[in-house]
Amino acid sequence: VAAAPPPPPAQAAPVPAPEPVHISAALRSRAELAGVQIDQLADLARAEDLVNRVEGLSKRTAGKLRAECETFGIPTDEHMSRAELSNLVRDFIVWEELSTSALCDTCRERGYTVDESQEKSELLELLKHSYWDGLGVPIARIKAGSALELLGKMREVASLGECELILRSDDFGVEMADDPEVARKDIQQALIWDVFPLAELRRDCAAYGVTPPAAGGSPDGERQS
């Protein structure tokens, strides 16, 4: 007698669709005042918690806000006001809650070419880069761990008088321009090149039409003494 066929596998119970999240008019009003665009969030269920976090920033001291900036890998200094620090923290905690589509739009607004197939962590890293780039530090191109030291040196150069600029120009072998502001930018560029890895230095040499030297040599176009 033939064996009876095995019973068909049990059908998994369908997963019920999540209940739609209702956003009250009062919460939308609070979100607007806090600078949170609720419809751009990845999870509307987190909207109220996010608004609460943003509203809570107004009660934090500058020191606590500065510490939170450090957790995001964002540099600050003693000259930044409490309001500036608060806005900076707000941007980052809101970005973390945005949908991928909204994050892509935010990245594009800052000049990055992105698409929605990219990981959310990549997009957030680009937004962090945009802050460093705005400070004049090309974070994606310099040696790892050198950003804060470079930023400190660039800010120091930004505060130098004309006589001090002449001395620093000599230190870096930079010809002192007639315009002190041009000289300042030249020195800051030299500081950036100083922390470039070799591949990035070669890239800039190509952009400036300079042939990189062989080991121990001088680049083409540079006068040898």
Contact yes or no for 94/102 (Cβ under 8 A)? no
pLDDT value at residue 224:
39
Cα 60–Cα 62–Cα 67 angle in degrees, nearest 5: 90
Enclosing domain of residue 161: 138-210
Determine, yes or no, domain membership for 180. yes
For the chain, 225 residues long, the average pLDDT of each consecutive 10-residue run is 69 70 93 94 95 96 93 82 93 96 95 93 93 90 88 90 84 80 90 93 92 59 41
- CA gap 137, 123 in Å, rounded: 19
Determine, yes or no, domain membership for 23. no
pLDDT value at residue 28:
95
Determine, yes or no, domain membership for 161. yes
pLDDT value at residue 221:
46
Determine, yes or no, domain membership for 16. no
- CA gap 98, 43 in Å, rounded: 8
- CA gap 33, 52 in Å, rounded: 12
Determine, yes or no, domain membership for 202. yes
Determine, yes or no, domain membership for 90. no
In the chain, what is the greatest distance between 2 CA atoms, to the nearest angstrom? 106
Rounded to 10 degrees, what is the CA torsion of 27, 31, 34, 39?
170
Question: In the chain, how many domains are there?
Answer: 1
Determine, yes or no, domain membership for 195. yes
pLDDT value at residue 67:
93
Q: Give the number of residues written for the chain.
A: 225
Determine, yes or no, domain membership for 189. yes
pLDDT tens sequence across 105-157? 999 999 999 998 999 999 999 999 998 998 899 998 998 789 888 988 998 89
